[in-house]
Structure 1
Amino acid sequence: MLCLTALENPLFPLLSLEATRVVSGEVWRLLSANLVHFGWAHTLMNVGALLLCALAFFTEASPTKFSLLLLWCCFAVGMGIFLLNPEYVPYAGLSGALHGLIVAGLLQTRAYPFWVRAVALVLVAVKLGQENSTGYEATDIQQLIPVAVAVESHFYGAIAGVIFAGGDWLLTQLKRNS
């Protein structure tokens, strides 16, 4: 992501999500939009959050499992924006997928007591509710990035995290019973 931001001028237009370009066959944008950002402040916030999330929840997860979760969350966010919010032209950033990592991490980690994870999940749900309420504006963040925050992407990512954690739990149960 840091390299992509450094090479922003030629790559951003090729990688950011625009629904009309996806319809015309540029389907890679559903994933690649999560890797490009609106400038250095946006990139550094997302890279920092990715590192914190990985350290807080996924130090004991296999690289394959973490990679699949990240890929799934990026794809789910890309599809959500493509299908439900095509007005974001262009869409870019990792914060939606990060919400998926946070939710899946809280549901799956055993590094923290249940009550800590439950409280954190409630706080994430409250945040998502506030962000998606009528009249919400991310004024503090708007000073750092030059576009409106696509708060819907946070919701799509959180749902992807729930689906991943649920699917992983189901697979574990099926393996135990066979």
Structure 2
Amino acid sequence: MSYSLMFEKVSSALGPLILIGLAVLAFFSPDNIRELLIYDRGRILSGEFWRLLTGHFLHTNLNHLLLNCAAVAVLWVLHSDYYRALGYLLLVVLLALLTGAGLLFFSPSVSWYVGLSGLLHGLIVWGGIHDIQRGWMTGYLIVLGTAGKVAWEQFGGDTSAAAALIGAPVAIDAHLWGAVAGALVPGLWLVFGGGWRRSVRQY
């Protein structure tokens, strides 16, 4: 493997590793710190807006954490060609904020939320759209499959097994708004980033 290719692989992995590191750090933080980070609708409406971002990094139990960290790794395997550390972290922040905003404005019944799952739905849709841009049929499968999963959840699909595993109700609205965010961000890149190809791959 050439040094340039090795550097690209290391650079593409750095963002996901930082994301996993933040999730692990949040999981092992003292309870008083975790309380400051959780997505709490009432506190956000009182002005604690950072919770729109930080709530995504918390998890209900170790199973929840490991499942989501494994999903981060799988998405890196699928779409590492699109990742560079700085751009990936910017993407994570955008997806987290848009997902949090979706919950705040359109899902008032969600009073609290923790976990990377909403953000992960955004990442997979974002990656699928990039696959489509490259002419890969797998991109259509990823986007349509994610849309089907989200619709199934929204229309009453059984999530009890997942809920038992993570020790909390499955936040299906976070999945919905995460997927919507994943579809929106490429459009934002087009408008403000100077074109589709100006993606996280360049940073």
TM-score (norm: length of structure 2): 0.77
Matched residue type, 2:136: F
Q: Counterpart in 2 of 1:100?
A: 122
Percentage identity across paired residues of the two chains: 26
| Cα distance in 2, alignment partners of residues 38 and 162 from structure 1 | 27
- Secondary structure of 2:59's counterpart equals coil
In structure 1, C-alpha distance between the alignment counterparts of 2:159 and 2:132, rounded to whole Å: 32
* Equivalent in the alignment of 2:169: 148
Q: Deviations over 1:71-100 (max 9, x none)?
A: 111001111112222333321111001011
Distance in structure 1 (CA, Å) of the matches to 2:118 and 2:142: 17
1:36-51 → structure 2 map (5 Å cutoff): 36-51=58-73
Q: Is the partner of 2:39 in helix, strand or coil?
A: coil
- How far is 1:173 from its partner? 5.8
What secondary structure sits across from 1:73 in the alignment? helix
Q: Would you say how many aligned residue pairs link Structure 1 and Structure 2?
A: 174
The answer on whether the counterparts of 2:118 and 2:175 sit within 8 Å (CA) in structure 1 is yes
How far residue 14 of structure 1 moved from its aligned partner, in angstroms, is 1.1
Query: Aligned-pair RMSD on alpha carbons?
Result: 2.2
Aligned 8 A contact 1:57 1:111 in 2: no
Aligned partners of 2:88 and 2:132: how far apart in 1? Answer: 16
Which blocks of at least 5 consecutive residues in structure 1 are unaligned? none
C-alpha spacing 1:116/1:20, structure 2 compared with 1 (3 Å): same
The aligned residue for residue 33 of structure 1 is 55
Would the aligned equivalents of 1:18 and 1:82 in 2 still touch at CA under 8 Å?
no
- Contact 1:18/1:86 (8 A) holds in 2: no
| Range moving further from structure 2, 105-114 or 33-42 | 105-114
2:198 maps to 1:172: no
Aligned residue identity for 1:65: G
Is contact 1:58-1:66 (8 Å) kept?
no
Select the residue among 147, 156, 159 that pairs with 1:125: 147
Aligned mate of 1:7, from 29, 42, 45: 29
Distance 1:173 1:28, change over 3 A: closer
1:57 is aligned to 2:79: yes
Mark the runs of 5 or more structure 2 residues left unpaired by the alignment. 1-22, 199-203
Task: Answer 1 or 2: which has greater helix percent.
Answer: 2
Quote the Cα distance in structure 2 between the aligned partners of 1:174 and 1:120: 20
Q: CA deviation at 1:21?
A: 0.5
- Deviations, residues 6-64 of structure 1 (Å, cap 9, x unaligned): 22523221111111101211111000000111111111111111121123113443222
Task: Indicate the SS of the match to 1:34.
Answer: helix
**With structure 1 as the length reference, what TM-score do the two structures score?**
0.87
Aligned match of 1:81 = 103
Cα distance in structure 1, aligned partners of 2:168 and 2:111: 10
